[in-house]
C-alpha cells in the first residue's frame, strides 16, 4: 500500500505519485510550490523532468531524494532508474545497460516496510472490505461518500457497514479524517503483515469472505477480468514447508511486479492450497 520507489520501474511515475500525495498530509503539491521547496527559482526545470522533456541532473536527484526522505539505497535506486532511461537505446548486451539492470534487480528485492499485526488487532479489521477500503482511500478519485464507496465496492458492503469500518480505522489511527476538507487519508506508510500458520477464527472468517467474493465473480464478472485455475497433484507431505514458502514468495513477487499506485481499481488475488484425500 505504501508508495515506495521500489514499486516503480519509471522514476517519473514515482515522482508523479509522490507529487499527488505529498508530505505527511498526503495532499497534492503544485509544481511551483514543489520547485520552490527544492530551491529552484522557476518550476521549469522540474516541469521538464516530469513531462519527459529532460532527465534530472545529479544535483536534482540529490535534492529530490532529500525532500522525499529517501534512504541511501532508495536514492541509489532512483539514480539507477534515471541511468536505465539513459541506456535504454543501448544494445541489450552492452555492459553498462546490463550493470544497471542487474543492480536494479538486486535493490528491488529490498524487504518492504511491514507493520506486524497481532491476531487481536487483526480481529478488529477482519471483515473482507477493510483492506479494499484502505486501498480505495489512496486512489485519486476517492470521495468520502458512503454511497459512492459502496457502489465502488460492487454493492457488497452497505453504507452503514462502511461507516462503522471508517470509525474503526480512525480509532485505530490507520486513517485520519479532516473535518474541514472532509478528506480521508491513510496514515500508515507501510504494508500490514498478518501472522501465518496460527489457528485463528478471525483469519478463517476473513479468508471465507474473500472466497465468497471469488465465487460471486464467476457469475458477475467477464472472463477477461478474472482468472481461475486449478491443479490437482500428488506430492510428499515433507515438502509442505517448502511449498508454503514458495506460495508466499510468489504472492510477494506478484505484488512487487503488478501493484500500480496510480490505479483507481482494486483487485483481489486468492491462493488456496489444501488436502483433498484423508
* Residues 5 and 70 sit within 8 Å (Cβ to Cβ): yes
Is residue 231 domain-shared with residue 248, that is, in the same domain?
yes
Is residue 16 domain-shared with residue 88, that is, in the same domain?
yes
Q: pLDDT-derived band of residue 199, with 50, 70 and 90 as boundaries?
A: confident
User: Which of residues 61, 81, 108 is at a domain's end?
Assistant: 108
Cell numbers describing residue 125: 479489521
Q: Is the pLDDT of residue 252 over 60?
A: yes
Is residue 76 domain-shared with residue 160, that is, in the same domain?
no
Is residue 160 domain-shared with residue 277, that is, in the same domain?
yes
Q: Let me know if 11 is exposed, middle or buried by CB neighbors in 10 A (0-12, 13-18, 19+).
A: buried
Average pLDDT over residues 63-85: 90
Tell me what pLDDT residue 257 has. Answer: 79
The DSSP annotation for the chain comes to ----GGG-S-HHHHHHHHHHTBTTTTB---HHHHHHHHT-S-SHHHHHHHTTSSPPPHHHHHHHHHHTT--HHHHHHHHHHHHHHHTTTS-TT-HHHHHHHHHHHHHHTSPPPEEE--HHHHHHT-STTHHHHHHHHTSTT----HHHHHHHTTT-S-HHHHHHHHHHHHHTTSEEEETTTTEEEE---SEEE---SS--HHHHHHHHHHHHHHHHHHHHS-GGG-----------GGGHHHHHHHHHHHHHHHHHHH--TT----------------
Q: Which domain holds residue 268?
A: 112-278
**Number of domains making up the chain:** 2
Mean per-residue pLDDT over the chain, rounded: 88
Is residue 275 domain-shared with residue 176, that is, in the same domain?
yes
User: Which of residues 70, 85, 108 is at a domain's end?
Assistant: 108
Is residue 139 domain-shared with residue 265, that is, in the same domain?
yes
Is residue 96 domain-shared with residue 211, that is, in the same domain?
no
Lowest mean pLDDT among 43-52, 74-83, 197-206, 248-257: 248-257
Q: pLDDT-derived band of residue 112, with 50, 70 and 90 as boundaries?
A: low
Q: What is the pLDDT of residues 7-48, one digit of tens each?
A: 788 999 899 988 988 876 678 899 999 999 999 999 999 999
Is residue 121 domain-shared with residue 206, that is, in the same domain?
yes
Average pLDDT over residues 42-57: 94
**Percentage of the residues of the chain whose pLDDT score is greater than 90:** 51
Q: pLDDT-derived band of residue 189, with 50, 70 and 90 as boundaries?
A: low
Q: Is the pTM of this model over 0.75?
A: no
- What torsion, rounded to 10 degrees, do the Cα atoms 217, 220, 226, 229 define? 50
Tell me what pLDDT residue 111 has. Answer: 56
Amino acid at each position: 500500500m505504501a508508495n515506495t520507489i521500489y514499486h516503480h520501474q519509471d522514476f517519473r511515475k514515482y515522482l508523479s505519485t509522490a507529487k499527488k500525495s505529498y508530505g505527511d498530509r498526503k495532499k497534492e503539491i503544485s509544481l511551483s510550490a514543489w520547485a520552490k521547496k527544492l530551491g529552484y527559482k522557476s518550476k521549469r526545470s522540474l516541469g521538464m523532468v516530469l513531462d519527459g522533456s529532460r532527465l534530472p541532473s545529479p544535483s536534482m536527484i540529490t535534492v529530490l531524494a532529500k525532500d522525499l526522505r529517501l534512504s541511501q539505497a532508495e536514492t541509489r535506486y532512483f539514480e539507477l532508474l534515471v541511468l536505465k532511461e539513459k541506456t535504454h537505446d543501448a544494445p541489450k548486451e552492452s555492459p553498462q545497460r546490463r550493470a544497471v539492470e542487474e543492480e536494479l534487480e538486486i535493490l528491488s528485492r529490498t524487504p518492504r516496510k511491514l507493520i506486524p499485526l497481532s491476531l487481536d488487532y487483526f480481529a478488529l479489521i477482519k471483515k473482507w472490505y477493510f483492506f479494499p477500503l484502505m486501498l480505495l482511500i489512496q486512489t485519486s478519485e476517492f470521495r468520502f461518500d458512503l454511497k459512492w464507496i459502496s457502489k465502488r465496492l460492487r454493492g457488497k458492503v452497505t453504507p452503514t457497514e462502511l461507516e462503522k469500518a471508517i470509525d474503526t480505522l480512525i480509532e485505530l489511527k490507520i486513517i485520519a479524517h479532516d473535518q474541514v476538507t472532509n478528506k480521508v487519508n491513510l496514515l500508515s506508510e507501510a504494508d500490514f503483515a498478518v501472522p501465518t500458520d496460527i489457528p485463528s477464527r478471525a483469519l478463517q472468517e476473513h479468508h471465507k469472505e474473500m472466497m465468497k467474493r471469488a465465487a460471486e465473480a464467476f457469475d458477475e464478472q467477464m472472463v477477461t477480468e478474472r482468472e481461475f485455475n486449478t491443479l490437482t497433484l500428488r506430492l510428499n507431505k515433507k515438502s509442505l514447508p517448502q511449498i508454503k514458502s514458495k506460495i508466499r514468495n510468489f504472492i510477494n513477487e506478484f505484488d512487487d511486479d503488478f501493484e500500480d499506485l496510480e490505479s483507481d481499481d482494486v483487485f483481489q488475488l486468492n491462493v488456496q492450497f489444501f488436502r483433498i484425500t484423508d
